[in-house]
Structure formats: structure tokens, C-alpha cells
Amino acid sequence: MSCENPSVDKDALMARRPKFDKTKQCVKCKERTGNVVIRHAVYCKSCFFPLISTRFRKSLEPSVNPTPDGPRRKALKASGSLLVGLSGGLGSTVMLDLVAKTYFGAPSVADLGEEAPPSKPKGGKEHPRNMTGKDSEIWRGVPAVCYVEVCGAFPGAEDRTERVRQVVESYATTSPPFAFDFIPLRLEDAFDLEWWKGVGELLFTPPPSSTPILALQAYLSSLPTQTAIHSATQTLVRLLLLYTAASRRASHVLLGTSLTSLSVNLISGIAQGAGFSVAEEAMEEWRGEGKSGELTPPIRIVRPLRDVGMKECAIWAWWCGLRIVGRERYLGGTQGIGSLTRNFITGLERDYPATVSTIARTCAKLTPKEGSDGVCLLCQRPAQHGVQEWKSRTSIRSYNHASFSSSGHERPPHLANATDRPQHRTEPSPSSHLTPHLCYACHTTLTSRSSRGNVKQTSDSKVVPLPLWVGASLSLVPTSEDSSGEVWATRRMGDGEMKAAIGDLLLNDS
Amino acid sequence: MSTDSNTMFLKIEFGGGLELLFSNQRSHRITIPSTVPADNNTSVTTKDAASPATRPADVTYLLHHLRDHLLKEREELFMENGTVRPGILVLINDTDWELEGEGEYLLKDGDEIVLISTLHGG
């Protein structure tokens, strides 16, 4: 490599590497001139559609049957119905299109390329590859498309429900037609008793609140940072979809997270303390409490576009003429972790396209070192063991703590005038403390302040409403006393005391 | 098609929400000069310039032209460092611009350029 100064000597710059390998010919058919470059490989338009469709099926189908049937899958048969999450954004719109075309009789993927579909399907019409959802009945019942409108959280945002409904209903006019059930939800439903009565059981008396939308706004305004608002919104959407899926006895929830979005979610999740649930970000299985209070059958959350980048999604949407409604993307302002990560990954994808898939592949190899300590009540993902104990050792938990006050230190300047934050608790059971039942990421989201980008406190109330599933789960968990009535405490033991406690187990030196 | 050999006629399409920056109009038909200033200045024609350094019109010039004459708002969402912002795809006659030399592709009369945003979520 040259060491000359590129600003003076133009020849000092290294020659720009082309974005594609070798020739402009399609790497698959090796006949036609390519139309698109995907991670350095060139594909023509005819080969592009089956390529994306195959990646989609490869990501989804191994998780359709409750137990994998090995490499030679005989038939796909899910244990419940299907729920597709649609945000109105690019990824989920493309995913809905792929679901409709692959399994529910919309014009097939083979018809999209320039090649005429083969007159006789390869492998025969009974081959699982050639079966559509309609004739193979992979999922039970009518599949549903669920949209969560988030405009209630962000004043001034547009309500896109009707435009999304039109996208879903457009599949009823294709040939052959297929009608999905459209389920429009709103973010404030997480605080709405009427919605909760439809999906869960009311085992507790919720705190009186004026309206769900005010409760939602009070909840979001109690969060300490802009990043936390973004993160909390994502969690609310995810849980609204999951409880709705459980109420429809769904076995699969499909989300349109593309490879690009998955990499953004992984990096920004790790940056916000969600490293323990890295595996769940790509694929997870969830069991909720049903109306009778028992655990529902497991629901698999699958992201079938996790091997398809945002570029491929955009080209699919363009060539298929899909209408992208767009979504309200609140990433916590320009300095929010979500926004910074998305900008970074989008730039990385343009300059070094293969690196983005490396992020997802590397994260797929990660497993937590320690086991799980139950499920977080807020996000309902596995929570790490001993989080609070670890936090208490590594961080300053309270400025009002006696030993801290006596040390004579003052509060940092940005917190000098700060009053105590309202406590997150659920009435009317003040004895139930929420903190031990949260994962590290949710606890951080609710409590971690920042020296910049703090949200202005608008609510005077000391009681902040929580999503209804938190109250429902909190009413079921035991309090600090365990079932035998014992109370556990942790304290430091002296050497002598420790030796006495284990004395019977020690071996003699002789 | 253009009748003047000094200008060329192009069809521009916006997709994926990028049209919102261009008066919410998806399809535009524009005419640009065949020879353009080397510094991508779209306010002067090559005839006006005193000692113009010129070059044939390429996609980079077209991007500057779109920014200066068609873009209605928020320039930072369209261009960055003299090219399109990361996350915006360009198709030249239905082919990825990465196969055509990106900004260095020399435009021809009647070319169809598509700009698609991938930044509208997933």
C-alpha cells in the first residue's frame, strides 16, 4: 500500500474496488447479464426472485413443524395458526408478499421472473415444495396480519391504519384471491383493560387510570432517555403481537426483520444491555399466560427475512410494484442509540456489504455463560441470574444512600437539581417489588439516566402505569418470602465464620 | 425524445418513500445538458462559463441536478459526500448502478433512472 499523501498526489489513492466479482454475468444461470449485485454476487432479474424466495423458505420452514423432521422434510404441519406482523415498513411489506405468494395462492414466485413457469412442477404436485398453504394447510385457520399503530405515543404522527388495511386487503383482489384477517391494534392497547380481557385473564385490580392513551403517555414520559422510549415502544409492539397471537392459538408469529434490521437490533440491543437475549433477537419461543392462567402452547417468533438484506427487499418491492406505506420510525432522536446504530450499519452495508451478515452470523454463535433466572415481566424474555446483585456491586444505586452522603461527594452537575424519579410500581400491591423480576436491559431502560438527551418530566404523578401483562404476572409471582416462609438475605461472612460453616466438609491436611 | 443534441431527456422515478422529498411525485421527466461543468455546478450552463472545464453528463451530475432543481426539502436525507446517502438504491435502466459504474455512468438520451429509499423501515 502506498504511503503518499492523497490530498496532494491523486495517484496515491488506491483504485476503487468494483462492487461485484469478476463479470457482469449472472452467477446462477451464467447466461444473462446481471441486474443486481447482492454481497458482491451478480444476479439477473429472472434468478433474483427464486433466490429471495428460497432464502425466505430456508429461514422459515425448518421451524414450522413442532419438531424438525430432519433433512428430508415430508410435510409441513404447524401446531397452530399463523400471525404476520406488519409495520407498514419495507421489510414487513415484502415478507407479507412472500408469505402470500409462497403459501396462500397469490401469483407464484415463478411467475415473476421472465421465464415462463414450467408446465409440470419439478418433483410432482404432491412434493412439499410445490404445495401452497391452501392445499397443504400448513397452518390452522385463517392467517392473520396484525398492525400496531404507534401514533398515540408520538403526538403529530400520522395514523396509517387505513393505508395498511388497504395493503392487506389488496391480496383479496389478486388471482387467485386470498383474504387475511386484518387485526389493527394500537400501542395504547397495552394499557387498555378491554384489550387485555380479550387476550389474558384479569387476576388483579389494575390501578385506576383515565384513558389508555394517557397511561401510555405517562409510561413513556417516565422513561429517563430518548433511547429508552424507542426501546420501550419496541417491547410494547412485540408483546402486543405475542398476546394477540396467543389469543388466536397461533403457533408462529412472523416478523419482517431483514438482515440489515437484525444487525441493527443486535448491535443496539447489546449497547443497551440486552446481550443476554442476543439469541432471542434472531429466533425465540414464547409462552404466555392464557385466559385460564395456564401457560399457552409455545409460539415461535420467526424472522424469515433474516438472510435477506434491505437492498434485496427494496428491489423486490420495486420489481413487484408493492406499495410501501412507511412507518413511524422513532429511533430516539438523532443521538439515540437506535438512530446511531442504524446510520452506522446502513453505511457499512453500502461500503462493505458482507460485513452486515457477519454481524448476524457472529451473534448467532453467542450463548449466555450463565443460565436464566426466569422470565422478565416487562419484555418476557429470559432474565439473567443475579443481575441486581451484580449491579449493586458495580454501580452507585442511590445518591441518598447513607454511606454515600457521609462521603461528602456531591451529585454530578447534570443531576444537581434532579428530584427522585417516580417509582415504577403497580397498585394496589405495593409489597410487590418490580426490580427483581426485570432483566438487565429492561431495568436499565427504566432507570438508567444519561448526561444528555434526558426526557423532560411531564407527569407529576409518583405512580407510573405499566403494561397490563406486568401487573398480571406480578400478581402471580411470590414475594420476597419463598413458599416455605423463609426469608433470604445476603451478607459478607468473616473467614472464621465461613470455615465453621463448611468445617465438616474440609479434608485434613494430614 | 430530445431533438436538441446538446440536451438529453431522462425519466426519473422515486420509490420507497423517497418521493416524499420530491413534492410527493413518483415520476418525473427532465431534460439536462449533454455536457456539464466538471464541478457539478447546476446553476450555470457550459455556454455561460468563462473557461469551463466540462465533461459528459453522468449520474453524479444528475444527482446534483435533482438536488438543486427537484428536491423540495431535507437535502441531508438525499445526498451525502457528493453521492446518494447510504440506504438509497439507484437503478439505471432496471439495473443496479453498481454494475454500471455508479456515479461515473455516462447518461444517454432516454435513460430511465430509479431511486429507491430503504430507510422507511422493516
Estimate the crossing angle of helix A212-221 against helix A226-247, to 10 degrees.
Answer: 140
What is the distance of C-alpha A220 from the center of its chain?
Answer: 18
The arithmetic mean of pLDDT across residues A319-332, rounded, is 78
CB pairs below 8 Å between A and B: how many? 91
Give the closest residue to B62 by CA, choosing from B16, B2, B116, B8. B8
Q: What's the farthest any 2 CA atoms get from each other in chain A?
A: 88
Distance, in angstroms, between B32 CA and closest chain A CA? 25
Average of per-residue pLDDT values in chain A: 78
Please indicate whether, in this complex, the C-beta atoms of A347 and B94 are within 8 angstroms of each other: no
For residue A206, the model assigns a pLDDT of 62
- Which residues, in sequence order, are CB contacts of A401 under 8 Å at separation 6+? none
Please indicate whether, in this complex, the C-beta atoms of A91 and B122 are within 8 angstroms of each other: yes
Among all chains, which residue has been given the C-alpha cell 449520474?
Answer: B59
The arithmetic mean of pLDDT across residues A481-502, rounded, is 64
Q: Render pLDDT for A364-413 as a digit per residue (tens, 0 to 9).
A: 898 888 778 788 888 888 888 877 777 777 766 665 554 444 455 556 65
Q: What angle do CA A189, A93, A53 make, to 5 degrees?
A: 135
- Range with the poorest average pLDDT among A291-295, A324-328, A422-426, A431-435: A422-426
Give the closest residue to A200 by CA, choosing from A285, A294, A284. A294
For residue A252, the model assigns a pLDDT of 92
Q: What is the dihedral of CA A125, A131, A134, A135, to 10 degrees?
A: 40
Helix or strand (DSSP H, E) at A5: none
A137: left (phi over 0), alpha (psi -120 to 50) or beta: left
Task: With a cut of 90, say whether residue A238 has pLDDT above it.
Answer: yes
How far is residue A184's CA from residue A146's CA, in Å, rounded to a whole number? 6
Taking the CB of residue B2, how many other CB atoms lie within 10 A of it? Answer: 14
Chain B residues with at least one Cβ partner in A under 8 Å = 15-17, 86-87, 89, 91, 94-96, 98-99, 102, 114, 116-122
Estimate the crossing angle of helix A337-351 against helix A226-247, to 10 degrees.
Answer: 80
Give the CA distances from residue A319 to residues A116, A195, A271, A346, in Å, rounded to whole numbers and listed in that order. Answer: 17, 39, 36, 22
Among all chains, which residue has been given the C-alpha cell 422513561?
Answer: A223
Kindly list the residues from chain A whose CB atom is less than 8 angstroms away from the CB atom of residue B15: 314, 317-318, 324
Please indicate whether, in this complex, the C-beta atoms of B96 and A35 are within 8 angstroms of each other: yes
Q: What angle do CA A352, A354, A355 make, to 5 degrees?
A: 70
3-state secondary structure A302-345: ECCCCCCCHHHHHHHHHHCCCCCCCCCCCCCCCCCHHHHHHHHH
Estimate the crossing angle of helix A337-351 against helix A353-364, to 10 degrees.
Answer: 120
Give the CA distances from residue A12 to residues A1, A6, A19, A229, in Å, rounded to whole numbers and listed in that order. Answer: 9, 5, 21, 47
- The more confidently predicted of residues A224 and A9 is A224
Q: What is the DSSP string of A44-70?
A: -HHHHHHHHHHHHHHHHGGGTSSS---
Give the percent of chain A with pLDDT over 90. Answer: 27
Give the CA distances from residue A62 to residues A57, A252, A279, A301, in Å, rounded to whole numbers and listed in that order. Answer: 8, 12, 17, 13
Which residue in the set B15, B16, B96 is minimally distant from A36, CB to CB?
B96
Please indicate whether, in this complex, the C-beta atoms of A92 and B87 are within 8 angstroms of each other: no
Q: Render pLDDT for A430-488 as a digit per residue (tens, 0 to 9).
A: 334 778 888 888 888 888 776 655 555 555 556 778 888 887 766 655 544 444 445 45
Contact A440, A430 (CB under 8 A): no
How far is residue A370's CA from residue A362's CA, in Å, rounded to a whole number? 19
Kindly list the residues from chain B whose CB atom is less than 8 angstroms away from the CB atom of residue A350: 86-87
Which numeric CATH code is attached to A48-66+76-116+129-375? 3.40.50.620
Distance, in angstroms, between B67 CA and closest chain A CA? 20
pLDDT in tens, chain B (122 residues): 445 578 899 999 998 888 888 888 899 999 988 888 877 777 765 555 555 688 888 999 999 999 988 888 888 888 888 899 999 999 999 999 999 888 889 999 999 999 998 876 54
Which residue in the set A18, A33, A314 is minimally distant from B116, CB to CB?
A314
Question: What residues does each domain of chain A span?
Answer: 48-66+76-116+129-375
- Quick one: closest CA in A to B101, which residue? A18
Cβ-count burial of A47 within 10 angstroms (0-12 exposed, 13-18 middle, 19+ buried)? buried
Distance, in angstroms, between A258 CA and closest chain B CA? 7
Kindly list the residues from chain B whose CB atom is less than 8 angstroms away from the CB atom of residue A310: 87, 118, 122
3-state secondary structure A87-155: CCCHHHHHHHHHHHHHHCCCCCHHHCCCCCCCCCCCCCCCCHHHCCHHHHCCCCCCCEEEEEECHHHCC
Please indicate whether, in this complex, the C-beta atoms of A311 and B89 are within 8 angstroms of each other: yes
Where in A255-297 does DSSP place strands (E)?
A: 283-286
Task: With a cut of 50, say whether residue A328 has pLDDT above it.
Answer: yes
Distance, in angstroms, between A54 CA and closest chain B CA? 19
Interface test with B, best of A24, A46, A311 (most B CBs within 10 A): A311
Which residue in the set B16, B91, B95 is minimally distant from A317, CB to CB?
B16
- Which residues, in sequence order, are CB contacts of B78 under 8 Å at separation 6+? B18, B21, B66, B67, B71, B84, B85, B88
Kindly list the residues from chain A whose CB atom is less than 8 angstroms away from the CB atom of residue B122: 87, 89-92, 256-258, 260-261, 305, 310, 313
At the fourth CATH level, the homologous superfamily of domain B7-117 is Beta-grasp domain (3.10.20.30)
Please indicate whether, in this complex, the C-beta atoms of A260 and B121 are within 8 angstroms of each other: no
Chain A residues with at least one Cβ partner in B under 8 Å = 18-20, 24, 33-37, 42, 45, 87-92, 256-258, 260-261, 305, 310-311, 313-315, 317-318, 324, 326-327, 329, 343, 346-347, 349-351
How confident is residue A425, by pLDDT bands cut at 50, 70 and 90?
very low
Kindly list the residues from chain A whose CB atom is less than 8 angstroms away from the CB atom of residue B121: 87-92, 326-327, 329
What is the distance of C-alpha B38 from the center of its chain?
Answer: 15
Kindly list the residues from chain B whose CB atom is less than 8 angstroms away from the CB atom of residue A329: 120-121
How far is residue A14's CA from residue A392's CA, in Å, rounded to a whole number? 52
For residue A482, the model assigns a pLDDT of 45
Distance, in angstroms, between B24 CA and closest chain A CA? 13
Distance, in angstroms, between B103 CA and closest chain A CA? 13
For residue B40, the model assigns a pLDDT of 77
Distance, in angstroms, between B4 CA and closest chain A CA? 31
Provide ipTM, 2 decimals. 0.89
For residue A339, the model assigns a pLDDT of 87
- Quick one: closest CA in B to A314, which residue? B118
Contact A199, A247 (CB under 8 A): yes
The arithmetic mean of pLDDT across residues A48-63, rounded, is 92
